[in-house]
Structure 1
């Protein structure tokens, strides 16, 4: 039985020899629909946010007049070297949560991915265990966050266990509505974003390289550090980008698990939007986007993702 072939159109080269080319729409036509979607739902909203960030506003209306007053208001007081302004304190707080979440999810995600890729021998069991990692995504983020309240609350299960075991004499207030609970919720919600790309990178590693390292006398730790980690760096960078971009803009988790008492850049933007301060919120969003893009740029300098994929 003959297999179908792709129709071709013959053209003549300068030497007079026929040259076959594939028939079909031009590449720009094929990329047109995706480019249109990208333009409408990504580029135009960003341009609109940038434009609104330079608008003025009164109590009743937005005034489309170019003014830098929103950016000046954000950095007001930041020239004082002896005391950090509110904006810098907020960004430092957000970066702190981002770093702690990134480090924790990286350690957990790398460990889980390493176990699945190199210690689980059958593909079927790898699939089952990998699906177990996705179970938290079967419910919404809000439900998963609220589920921590009965565990970490003043009269929660953990405090009852600690007091019952005689380890503490009174309930520990820092377990809930604190920086600890915020980071814990972030780890619970976003570790899967680190597991998936790292596991994908590890599954592409040639197992003969590990055998060669062992044959050369390398210890398991040396093999891990000098072979597995470098070959998994693409997954590590992709997972890091996922986690960092989500945490930097998050306001729901910090609001719920922080008891509306912890500030973050995303939370400030959400509050300004609720008070209809759209130009000021847009200016904060532009600054946040610039900071996130700088972090992503720094991460992509470590590895050429397009080349490694």
Structure 2
């Protein structure tokens, strides 16, 4: 952003105490107190031939390290020529450029909140009070100042009632691309994949299928490449629980010391547990196994050896 130099109310003037050439870097004034502290601008002379200078140091009535012809043409001036902190073309250009820069950094002005707009209006009004009385300005300076103020006023008039929260262009792009603050695209709720580990810190159900806004009795469902399915469903007055695994896949059962494997080729019968003999009671396919919890010797384990209904069970 361009440097903006402090103005002084009413733009009081002083005069050159001594004549200067067009290359002098030190200038003596009659009353240096009428100019703002360094660094700052001052205008020597009046009208179209005036010269704007930039002084880096001010010691009493002496200006040192002066940049001659900062605007306008450096030239020789005689004793008694007027010197004042007038509003310059540089002030106008810096004022306009800095506002445009701030507008780009903050986003479009229509996206500012009411409070942000109010703060910006206060800042502009404060800046205008520092410019000084317009009576000390030339016709061109007044025209430039009016043009700059009108440009800003038009933007505020058009958007002053807009209360929407501003977001910067880069933020808007990120949200439009559905990216979070880390730059990662979030998972698509309609179907997507993810890599890495997933931890669910929740007391169940952690994963729910067929979700329609109502949890159906803690329906859990997990699956992997070896396909051990765990599920627990309670819907339509029916509670079911169990696990499944694909044929020709080993599933380990681990008690903390020993691994025991379960394997089947796809035609294994189900396992049943119950009271009493299954014969004539439990319908199953050939190969099913039944554990009788109240059995005795040779009547605890049954195997379905034949039949398609509830007969064909043999105790082992």
Q: Same fold (TM over 0.5)?
A: no
Which is strand-richer, 1 or 2?
2
Q: Bigger radius of gyration, 1 or 2?
A: 2
Which is helix-richer, 1 or 2?
1
